[in-house]
């Protein structure tokens, strides 16, 4: 019982952002049937982010499905000082490419549209990002999240190499 309650408390501090809503049409014998597809990004603004996709006949139902899907797909991303990336990364998905660079304090989020939502809900405050190629919001978000999953903190690298963090950060090995 306590675990279920703790899990619900954890989920409640998540924030969601609707990135895209798309009207889709299915042509049938009697005419056209309209539906809606929604893309939602969810995050706790302190290192967890996920995205989800939902389809339904009505907009609110599509958004609800997308939000549930986003909450299920949360991933933890290590951040430097809780405000930026540890190193520069490139995320690729399909024809979309997102180049993400860490930035000094006070820079803010310099990124376009759908990628900006990912960074805000992840809790990043200083970053410079550029999306190249396809402007499809689904693929851009997938590219950004795939790139963020590649992020390695000095602690993770030190553990993998069986060394101390100070040896990794000083450049001596």
pLDDT mean across residues, the chain? 88
The secondary structure element, H or E, covering residue 67 is helix 59-72
pLDDT in tens, 107-139: 999 998 889 999 999 999 999 999 999 999 999
pLDDT in tens, 62-104: 999 999 999 999 999 988 888 888 889 999 999 999 999 999 9
Find the mean pLDDT for residues 8-22: 79
CA distance 122 to 47: 5
Residue pair 130/144 in contact (Cβ under 8 Å)? The answer is: no
pLDDT at 4: 52
- Does the pLDDT value for residue 150 go beyond 80? yes
Cα 94 to Cα 3, 105, 136, distances in angstroms: 39, 32, 10
pLDDT at 37: 96
Residue pair 47/32 in contact (Cβ under 8 Å)? The answer is: no
pLDDT at 164: 85
CA distance 77 to 16: 17
Place of tokens 């900006």: 116
Residue ranges of domains in the chain, CATH in brackets: 2-75 (3.30.160.20), 78-157 (3.30.230.10)
- Comparison of pLDDT for 169 and 105, the residue scoring more: 105
- Does the pLDDT value for residue 36 go beyond 90? yes
């Amino acid at each position: 019982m306590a675990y279920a309650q703790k899990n619900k408390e954890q989920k409640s501090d998540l924030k969601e952002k609707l990135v895209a809503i798309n009207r889709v049409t299915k042509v049938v014998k009697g005419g056209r049937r309209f539906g809606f597809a929604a893309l939602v990004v969810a995050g706790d603004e302190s290192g967890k982010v996920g995205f989800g996709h939902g389809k339904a006949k009505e907009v609110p139902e599509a958004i609800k499905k997308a939000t549930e899907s986003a909450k299920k797909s949360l991933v933890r991303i290590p951040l430097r000082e809780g405000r930026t990336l540890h190193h520069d990364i490139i995320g690729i998905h399909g024809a979309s490419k997102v180049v993400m660079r860490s930035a000094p304090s006070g820079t803010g989020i310099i990124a376009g549209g759908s990628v900006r939502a990912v960074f805000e809900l992840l809790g990043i405050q200083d970053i410079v990002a550029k999306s190249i190629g396809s402007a499809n919001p689904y693929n851009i978000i997938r590219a950004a999240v795939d790139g963020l999953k590649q992020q390695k903190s000095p602690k993770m690298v030190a553990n993998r190499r069986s060394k101390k963090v100070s040896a990794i950060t000083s450049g001596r090995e």
